[in-house]
Amino acid sequence: MPIETAFTRKFDVKVPIVSAPMDLVSGGALAAAVSGAGGLGLIGGGYGKANWVDAQFREAGAQRVGIGFITWSVQRDPGVIDIALGHKPAAMMVSFGDGEDIVAKAKAAGVATMWQVQRLEQAAQAAEAGVDCIVVQGQEAGGHGMDRGLVSLLPSVRDLVGKDTALLAAGGIADGRGLAAALMLGADGVMLGTRFWASAEALGSEAAKARLVSTKGDETVRSKVFDVLRDVDWPQNYTGRIVQNDVLRRWHGDLGGLSQNLSAERARYLASDEDDYSTRVLIAGEALDLVGSIEPAGDIVRRIEAEAQDILARAPGFLR
Amino acid sequence: MPIETAFTRKFDVKVPIVSAPMDLVSGGALAAAVSGAGGLGLIGGGYGKANWVDAQFREAGAQRVGIGFITWSVQRDPGVIDIALGHKPAAMMVSFGDGEDIVAKAKAAGVATMWQVQRLEQAAQAAEAGVDCIVVQGQEAGGHGMDRGLVSLLPSVRDLVGKDTALLAAGGIADGRGLAAALMLGADGVMLGTRFWASAEALGSEAAKARLVSTKGDETVRSKVFDVLRDVDWPQNYTGRIVQNDVLRRWHGDLGGLSQNLSAERARYLASDEDDYSTRVLIAGEALDLVGSIEPAGDIVRRIEAEAQDILARAPGFLR
């Protein structure tokens, strides 16, 4: 029997599993594969490159997919929002900043909206903006985020916003156990990044994906090193969870030193091989321990759904 | 119907809820109240003060309670282990370091053993030591810990150690939603700190407890500031989750500066009123959002059990 929640009803999908809009990784093929398996695939609108967004919607073809943006970045060049809305996405998601204007625009276009939050204090604003869904992202997540763990933040957001807003749990989830647990904590579904990054359809090199499979969650860390190094102007409170490497170990505790040596370090970084992950950034979350192989995204959706169905059906068995 | 798990069977308790052995907070009265309600109460052996431990076992009276120690600290003066074992505790728990010798001693005395881990790489050693239970502590927890979030660490530890070792989930859990979610992720029960710190029986001032109720999880942070300030010699990789205050904000990003001003800052700290939490440390976890009042510990156990029973019974209702 399908897992039915406020999210599946509001977003008209069969499975409460969403692929995260990972910048340059979540292209149209991945989003279409996730939607094709009954979930909801999101194109990674990221920092807002219009040509790339157009190309990925074309890549998704007739499949119903959504898109997500980095709020503070896309607001610098908001034209890409209109371009995305022109593709009639299944959902538009904002994250990292005050997304009220984007949400209002999407709502006016009749597009379902999602707002990702990282701290409890952000959830009230998202709810007031009238979004259809709040994504609650724990610090376990790969890529940018903040400091709070999912297991207490999620039920706290539920208590704050009440029953009318759908919630997705994000960060550290990669299997049916995580989906079932998220539902117990008050979520209506899950958003997965790392698990879909390690999929056949994700955009990225084979070398990067091979490293995802061989790396453990203990080896990831939240840091600002690669934002400084790559000159990406993230607001102060956000860090990015990435896989530790030589560059990270050198500068993680010494951002001041990195700033003083920035032009040389940046040159060295850009001169390195793109698949040399002792130097290059590899973005991934703590869920890496739960990722054993690169699989088609549709298989991932179907397996997680089946695992969660089994766990939910057996839950009363704890009561003797 | 009772929630029955490998933990309730191995430790012969009715409810899979354990109170964390919080140093100077978890005295005999709290432990006895938790055990009296069907859970398992642990005395906070902490850094290993023999007189205090003796007094707390006496305080617990005839109630069956356990005890937990800070591994690296108690190993400097291991006599207190024998003193604790002389009280025939219901369980002995170690955390923060290599606890093999203590576990071996407890096992030889016929005492059930628990080993708390914070990273996946630590779980194999705990399992090899033959402990009855591994406590998986997420970074959400109050007090000392490490960096990994519970939601991915817990199922990863389950996958690593197999089915034979009981697991408790710790960090960020304070209600029945958290207990039900922990069971879905592969745990056999939960260990709660912050929720029992905000109980009538916890040792601590009314002012401290009042602040627990008025503070949000967003206001907590992991830091080494108060270990440096209080001259507690914690190994490098551990931080303590505490409530932000003026002292924390001043030094959190400048531990080097704190070291240079240490004698003056320490004198100022020690001269402050013990209930002046703009200066003094207040230890608490992210679960603060889920703590609404100071309650008797037995009521907390019974309410969380009832909430989890209800959620588990209704879990198949997600399947339509």
Interface test with B, best of A117, A146, A152 (most B CBs within 10 A): A152
A188 in reach of chain B (CB within 8 A): no
Among B147, B155, B311, beta carbon nearest to A290: B155
Q: Which residues of B touch A151 (CB under 8 A)?
A: 138, 140, 149-151, 171-173, 178, 181
The rounded distance, in Å, linking the Cα atoms of B66 and B168 is 15
Q: Nearest-CA neighbor of B145 among B42, B51, B70? A: B70
- The residue among A17, A173, A291, A318 with the most chain B CBs within 10 A of its CB, best to mutate, is A318
B180: which 2 tokens? Answer: 């039900």
Distance of alpha carbon B240 from alpha carbon B68, whole angstroms: 17
Residues of A in contact with B182 (CB under 8 A): 181
CB contact under 8 Å between B185 and A181, yes or no, is yes
Q: What is the interface size between A and B, counted as CB pairs within 8 Å?
A: 180
Q: Which of B140, B156, B216 sits opposite A149 (nearest CB)?
A: B140
Report the residue of chain A nearest B308, measured CA to CA: A184
Residue B12 is predicted with a pLDDT of: 98
End-to-end, the C-alpha distance of chain A in Å comes to 25
Check if A180 contacts B (Cβ < 8 Å).
yes
pLDDT at position A7 over 90 = yes
pLDDT in tens, B245-285: 999 999 998 999 999 999 999 999 999 999 999 999 999 99
Question: Taking CB atoms and an 8 Å limit, are B149 and A171 in contact across chains?
Answer: yes
User: Does the pLDDT value for residue B5 go beyond 90?
Assistant: yes
pLDDT, one tens digit per residue, over B220-253 is 999 999 999 998 889 999 999 999 999 999 999 8
CA–CA separation, A309 and A168 (whole Å): 17
| Neighboring chain A residues of B243 at a CB cutoff of 8 Å | none
Q: What is the pLDDT of residue B47?
A: 87
What band does A48 get if pLDDT is binned at 50, 70 and 90? confident
B225 contacts B261 by C-beta, under 8 angstroms: no
Interchain CB distance below 8 Å, A316 and B319: no
Q: Is the pLDDT of residue B48 over 90?
A: no
Among all residues of chain B, which has the CA nearest to that of A146?
A: B218
Contacts of B309 in chain A (CB under 8 A): 319
Query: Within the 73-132 window of chain A, which residues sit less than 8 Å (CB to CB) from chain B?
Result: 119-121
Over residues A168-191, the pLDDT tens digits come to 999 999 999 999 999 999 999 999
Which residue from B minimizes the CA distance to A6? B318
Question: A79 is written with which tokens?
Answer: 């034209």
Q: What is the pLDDT of residues B59-92, one digit of tens each?
A: 999 999 999 999 999 999 899 999 999 999 999 9
Residue A286 to residue B5, Cβ atoms within 8 A: no
Residue A47, pLDDT above cutoff 90:
no
Q: CA of B305 to nearest chain A CA: how many angstroms apart?
A: 11
Please list the residue range(s) of chain A that carry CATH number 3.20.20.70: 6-204+293-318
Using CA atoms of A33, A39, A40, A44 in order, give the dihedral in degrees to the nearest 10: -50
ipTM rounded to 2 decimals:
0.97
Q: Is B183's CB within 8 Å of A315's CB?
A: yes
Q: Which residue of A has its CA nearest to B16?
A: A318
- Helix then strand then coil, in percent of chain A rounded to 5, is 45, 15, 35
Q: Which residues of A touch B140 (CB under 8 A)?
A: 148-149, 151-152
Q: Is the pLDDT of residue A280 over 90?
A: yes
Give pLDDT, residue A132.
Answer: 98
pLDDT at A90: 98
Q: Which residues contact A162 (CB under 8 A, 6 or more apart)?
A: none
C-alpha distance from B4 to closest chain A C-alpha (Å): 6
pLDDT of residue A263 exceeding 90: yes
User: Closest approach of chain A CAs to the CA of B211, in angstroms?
Assistant: 18
Which tokens go with B150?
Answer: 């519970």
CB contact under 8 A, A217 and B156: yes
pLDDT band at B107 (very low <50, low <70, confident <90, very high): very high
SS3 assignment, position A52: helix
Contacts of A127 (CB under 8 A, 6+ apart): A134, A160, A161, A165
Cβ distance of A315 and B180 shorter than 8 Å:
yes
The answer to whether A31 and A65 are in contact (CB under 8 A) is yes
- In this prediction, residue A234 carries a pLDDT of 95
Beta bridge partners of A46: A69
| pLDDT reading at A194 higher than 90 | yes
pTM of the model: 0.98
Mean pLDDT of chain A: 97
Which DSSP string corresponds to A48-117? T-HHHHHHHHHHHTTS--EEEEEHHHHTTSTHHHHHHHHT--S-EEEESS--HHHHHHHHHTT--EEEEE
Nearest to B211 by CA among B279, B272, B275: B275
Q: What is the strand order of the sheet B239-243 is part of?
A: B143-145, B239-243, B220-223
- Summarised one tens digit per residue, pLDDT across range A218-248 is 999 999 999 999 988 899 999 999 999 999 9
Homologous superfamily, domain B6-204+293-318: Aldolase class I (3.20.20.70)
CB A141 within 8 A of CB A174: no
